[in-house]
Amino acid sequence: MKPLFLSFVLPAYNEEDSINELLQRVTSSMKSVDANYELIFVVEGEDMTIDRLCEFKVNNPEININIFYQKKPLGLTNAFKKGFNNVSQESTHVVTMDVDLNHNPEELPLLIEKAKQGYNLVIGSRALKGSRTLNVPPLKMLLSKFSNFIFNKAFDIAVKDKTGGFRMIDTATVKEIFPLLKSQGFEGLMEFLLLANRAKKTFAEVPITMRFRKHGKSKVKLWPVGKSYLKLLLRRNKIRRGK
């Protein structure tokens, strides 16, 4: 097998109080992983995230960090697209995770193990035996369970957690699928799975511990996000047929 080269694609919108811990934890976790890696940040917003990130980059010149920045947020999927478009030539896999530390960088080896078995998409899942969710407010938990229930009925894909953002995907699959994404925001996480399923990609899920953000505000706005998922639901048959 080719040596692993992980491209972390990390969208951050006003995450100034989480960015330093994320950088510390990702880079120290990677010390015990047998892989080269790069960090690609797509930063939007007007807080200090960009300043803290640039400072880390200057102080750690040995770490391969690529930063894209603009003030105006253009949505999660658009941020992912920008990152995916800029992974380096050597990249074997793309890793996505939230910058607010919802996901544990220390759990990455679980995903790597499955990716090494050859699965195209490995999903850090909140919906398996052994998965844990910590400190998530009851209303958010209820909404997440409700939306996953609807998606499990509506989308016939062998993945239990269809909206989680902790994923490891082989780079060839990312390059094949992402140009087809029509989404702009959070619904792109689901659309990616639909398109990958249509392209007969293989999926694996591993249980993770998901922790509610300690800092900053959620970027999920109930009504716009709900509306875009609804549009995706209405479009699902067209997507299945490749239209």
**Interface contacts to ligand GTP, rule CB under 6 A:** 11-13, 15, 42, 44, 73-76, 79, 98-100, 102, 165, 213, 218-220
d(CA 157, CA 52): 39
d(CA 27, CA 105): 9
Min dist. Cβ of residue 164 to Mg ion (A): 10
Kindly state the DSSP code that residue 221 receives in the 8-state scheme: -
Between 11 and 105, CB nearer to ligand GTP: 11
First to last CA, the chain: 35
Kindly state the DSSP code that residue 11 receives in the 8-state scheme: E
- φ, ψ of residue 75 to 5 degrees: the values are 105, 150
Tokens of 234: 């209405």
Gyration radius of the chain over CA positions: 17
Between 79 and 111, CB nearer to ligand GTP: 79
Min dist. Cβ of residue 122 to ligand GTP (A): 18
* Non-local CB neighbours of 239 within 8 Å, separated by 6+ positions: 191, 194, 195, 198
Residue 226 contact among Mg ion, ligand GTP, none, beta carbon within 5 to 8 Å by kind? none
d(CA 85, CA 213): 28
Residue 99 contact among ligand GTP, Mg ion, none, beta carbon within 5 to 8 Å by kind? ligand GTP
Q: In the window 92-131, what residues touch Mg ion (CB under 5 A)? A: 98, 100, 102
Q: Report the residue closest to Mg ion, judged by CB.
A: 98
d(CA 202, CA 222): 31
Min dist. Cβ of residue 98 to Mg ion (A): 4
Residue 195 contact among Mg ion, ligand GTP, none, beta carbon within 5 to 8 Å by kind? none
Between 75 and 105, CB nearer to ligand GTP: 75
Between 57 and 240, CB nearer to ligand GTP: 57
Residue 161 binds Mg ion, judged by CB under 5 A? no
Residue 73 contact among ligand GTP, Mg ion, none, beta carbon within 5 to 8 Å by kind? ligand GTP
